[in-house]
Amino acid sequence: MSPASVPAPGAPAPPVTRAEYCVIACAEAWRDNGEVLASPMGPIPSIGARLAKRTFSPDLLLTDGEAMLVGLDGTPEGWLPYRQHLTMVTGGRRHVMMGASQLDRFGNQNISCIGDWSRPTRQLLGVRGAPVNTLNNPTSYWVPRHSPRVFVERVDMVCGVGYDRAAAAGPSATRFHRVPRVVSDLGVFDFATPDHSMRLASLHPGVTVQQVREATGFRLSVPDEVPLTREPTPRELRLIREVIDPGGARDREVRS
């Protein structure tokens, strides 16, 4: 597997790739989360969650993707079949990072279908657990290819509930609702604005505000000074390249 090979001793480390900034941005979602289940969906969020657990968030729980809670070396430490997983969701001790086929300005997400629900032009997964996730535990999103087809003015089917829809549905909907962040291949986004509309929180190095605006199908809040997504530490870079993802799965999801 090509670019992820280990450099010769003493040689300077290859420059940080876009995929590696994405890993860092995903890992940061689980900082200071404490002893909760990290539920990453997709390769880069999975690498990010493992990086967080290996470094700044050691108390995170992870699963083997089926019914076991496992340590970093795969040793089972607990049992989490689907029905208990749902209790983990509704009990709130979990932070999930889901994918999104569509995502709007207030964080409403769609993975169900494209077009009119009664007869979709493109049937996708279905709502899955997006409604229960978003109303009960922090739900972040990962979008590997930022485009106006994903970041839309209005989603065709609200699966994951955004801030405007939660507010309209009342206190039971807002009580535990939180969308901490959206990570894409272009940057990091949050909803830290007075009306909870989406805001550009950081740009991955090499990306411009103009690029993000062009790839977003709605009016995005952009602060005067936009920080850059932070650099990985040398240790983090080594963990990503040599320990967590030596096969370079991250580069197949996001190319530099």
Partner 1 sequence: MSDKTMTTDEVVSRLRSGMTLGIGGWGSRRKPMALVRALLRTGITDLTVVSYGGPDVGLLAAAGRIRRLVTAFTTLDSIPLEPHYRAARERGAFELMEVDEAMFMWGLHAAANRLPFLPVRAGLGSDVMRVNPTLRTVTSPYADATSGIREELVAMPALRLDAALVHMNRADRLGNGQYLGPDPYFDDLFCEAADAAYVSCERVVDTAELTKEAAPQTLLLKRSSVTGVVETPNGAHFTSCAPDHGRDEPFQKLYATTPYAEFAARFLAGDEQAYQSAVRAWHEEQR
DSSP line for 29-74: HTTT--S-EEEE-SHHHHHHHHHHHHTT-TT-BEE-SSSEEE-TT-
Chosen residue from 10, 171, 194, 234 binding partner 1 by CB under 8 A? 171
- The CB-of-144 to partner 1 minimum distance in angstroms stands at 14
Q: Does 74 bind partner 1 (CB under 8 A)?
A: no
Among 19, 22, 69, 161, binds partner 1 (CB under 8 A): 161
Which residue from 160, 187, 217, 232 is in contact with partner 1, where contact means CB under 8 A? Answer: 160
Contact status, residue 73 vs residue 47, Cβ threshold 8 Å: no
Query: Do 52 and 40 form a contact (C-beta atoms < 8 A)?
Result: no
Least Cβ distance, residue 37 to partner 1 (angstroms): 15
Query: Dihedral through CA 202, CA 207, CA 208, CA 210, nearest 10?
Result: -100
The residue (of 113 and 207) whose beta carbon lies closer to partner 1 is 113
Which of these, 27, 46, 26, lies nearest to 185 by C-alpha position? 26
Residue at 153: amino acid letter: E
Q: How far apart are CA 18 and CA 6, in angstroms?
A: 18
Q: Does 158 bind partner 1 (CB under 8 A)?
A: yes
Report which of 93, 32, 87 is spatially closest to residue 57, judged by C-alpha positions.
32
Closest CA to 181 of 131, 145, 230, 143: 143
**Sole binder of partner 1 in the list 42, 55, 56, 68 (CB under 8 A):** 68
Q: Closest separation between CB of residue 80 and partner 1, Å?
A: 9
Write each residue from 101 to 130 as x if it is in contact with partner 1 (CB under 8 A), else as -, in one continuous string.
-----------xx---xxxxxxxxxxxxxx
Residue closer to partner 1 by CB (options 18, 94) is 94
Binder to partner 1 among 70, 132, 209, 249 (CB under 8 A)?
132
Among 32, 73, 79, 234, binds partner 1 (CB under 8 A): 79
Nearer to partner 1, 169 or 243 (CB): 169
Of the candidates 15, 170, 194, 234, which one interacts with partner 1 according to CB under 8 A? 170
Pick 54 or 178: Cβ nearer partner 1: 178
Angle made by CA atoms 41, 253, 47, in degrees to the nearest 5: 50
Binding residues with partner 1: total (CB under 8 A) = 47
CA-based Rg of the chain, rounded to a whole angstrom? 18
